[in-house]
Amino acid sequence: MSDLRELYLEMVTDHAKNPRHRGKTDPCDCIGTGHNPLCGDKIVVTISLDGETINDVKFDGEGCAISTASSDLMSEVLRGKTIQDAKDIFHGFHELVAGDGTAESVPKKLAVFSGVREFPMRVKCATLAWHTLIAAIEGNKEASTE
């Protein structure tokens, strides 16, 4: 049986209760909206860029603990990374929560989401922010987990 404690690690619940990166970036070079019809969650991700480099990422909206913590930690690890880095990190993250990836293939802070894999119904909560980020970067504006 999957272990709840693996899902709601202290780092996850802490970032869920006290997100550090909620808001809107200024300037806002990219904006994307994400929707998870399963739980009704909607988030907005904004990015400020310096050429190909991500200066800042912020998110807004209400979501569950997994989605909020994932949005917050995503914003945290992406600062100073390039757009290509962001895409690579998402790939590793997706493999971690939904595929065969290991914690080694993602930035250390994201390893706290390893437990999500045991809760298939929650994978979309963990990836919503990332899908929204990619939509923002690619100018699609809207992402959906469906």
Partner 1 sequence: MLNTEIIADSFPALHQTIGDNRLVYLDSAATTQKPQCVIDAIVSYYENDNANIHRGVHTLSQRATQAHENARVSISRLLHASRPEEMVFVRGATEAINLVAQAFARPRFGEGDVILITEMEHHSNIVPWQLICEQTGASLEVVPVCDDGSIDMDAYKSLLIPNVVLVSMAHVSNAIGTINPVKEMCKLAKEVGATTVVDGAQAVGHLQVDIQDIGCDFYAISGHKMFGPTGIGCLYGKYELLQEMEPWQGGGDMILSVSFEETTWNDVPFKFEAGTPNIAGAIGFGAAVSWIQEIGYDEIFKHEQELLAYGREVLLAIDGVELIGASKQNAGVIAFTLKGVHPHDVGTILDHAGVAIRTGNHCAEPLMKRFGLAATCRASLCIYNTRKDLDYLGVGIQEAMRILG
How big is the CA angle at 86 (ends 54 and 63), to the nearest 5 degrees? 90
Pairing of strands 142-144, 41-50: unpaired
> Letter for the amino acid at 2?
S
Q: How far is the CB of 70 from partner 1 (least distance, A)?
A: 13
CA dihedral sign, ordered 127, 78, 93, 142? positive
Judged by beta carbon, residue 39 or residue 86, the one nearer partner 1 is 39
Least Å distance, CB 45 to partner 1, is 18
Chain contacts with partner 1 (rule: CB under 8 A):
1-2, 4, 7-8, 13, 16-17, 38-42, 62-66, 68, 119, 121-122, 125
Q: How far is the CB of 83 from partner 1 (least distance, A)?
A: 30
Backbone angles phi, psi at 40, to 5 degrees: 80, 5
In eight-state DSSP terms, residue 8 is S
Structure tokens, 88: 């690579």
CB of 7 to partner 1, least distance (A): 7
CB of 71 to partner 1, least distance (A): 13
Backbone φ, ψ for residue 53 (5° rounding) = -100, 140
User: Is 17 or 20 the residue whose CB approaches partner 1 more closely?
Assistant: 17
Beta carbon nearer to partner 1, 88 or 118: 118
Q: Which is nearer to partner 1, 37 or 80 (CB)?
A: 37
- What is the chain's Cα-based Rg? 14
Pick 105 or 114: Cβ nearer partner 1: 114
